[in-house]
Structure 1
Amino acid sequence: MGRRGSGIAFIAISAFLISTKYISAAIFGSGVSSWDQDLFDGMLSYVGNTLNIFSVLSLLVGILYIVWGEYEELKRQR
């Protein structure tokens, strides 16, 4: 797998991690009889920020890998 493929894989991991945060909050509140925005925000805060941090880091690494792969391709063409 080249650098571009690795970049896409890291971006996919980032999307998976951010969706995992929302799914975890929904599972945590699945027993609640009525939903509103404040309740869901509370459930999201209970899940924490760790998934956000790892998601942003994975996104940045993915973007860097894609840029690096494109740079190498342009360098090879010249």
Structure 2
Amino acid sequence: MSKRGTGVAFIAISALLISSKYISASIFGSGVVSWNKSLYEAMLGYVGNTLSNFSLLAFITGIAYIVWEEYEDWKNKNKNYNN
């Protein structure tokens, strides 16, 4: 797998993690009779920030892999152009 593919995979993992945070809060509050903003925020607080932190880490890692591959391509093109 190329570095671009790895970067895209990390970004997809990031999207999965952040969406699972909100889905977990919704499942946690599925038995509630009435919904409002403060109740949903309380449910999100119960889920915690761990998924958000791992999502941010996966996103930054994915961007880093994509930038790394683009830099290597740019370096190789300039190397071939100068020769």
Please give the alpha-carbon distance, in whole angstroms, between the structure 2 residues aligned to 1:75 and 1:43: 48
Shift of 1:10: 0.3
Which residue does 2:81 correspond to in 1? none
Please give the alpha-carbon distance, in whole angstroms, between the structure 1 residues aligned to 2:3 and 2:73: 10
Please give the alpha-carbon distance, in whole angstroms, between the structure 2 residues aligned to 1:4 and 1:71: 11
RMSD between aligned residues: 0.4
TM-score by length of structure 1 reads 0.98
Q: Secondary structure at the match of 2:63?
A: helix
Which ranges in structure 1 are unaligned for 5 or more consecutive residues? none
Which residue does 1:14 correspond to in 2? 14
- Does 2:54 align with 1:58? no
Please give the alpha-carbon distance, in whole angstroms, between the structure 1 residues aligned to 2:2 and 2:75: 15
The aligned length equals 78
* Structure 1 moving runs of 4+ over 6 Å: none
TM-score by length of structure 2 reads 0.92
Please give the alpha-carbon distance, in whole angstroms, between the structure 2 residues aligned to 1:2 and 1:77: 17
Shift of 1:76: 1.1
Identity of aligned residues (%): 63
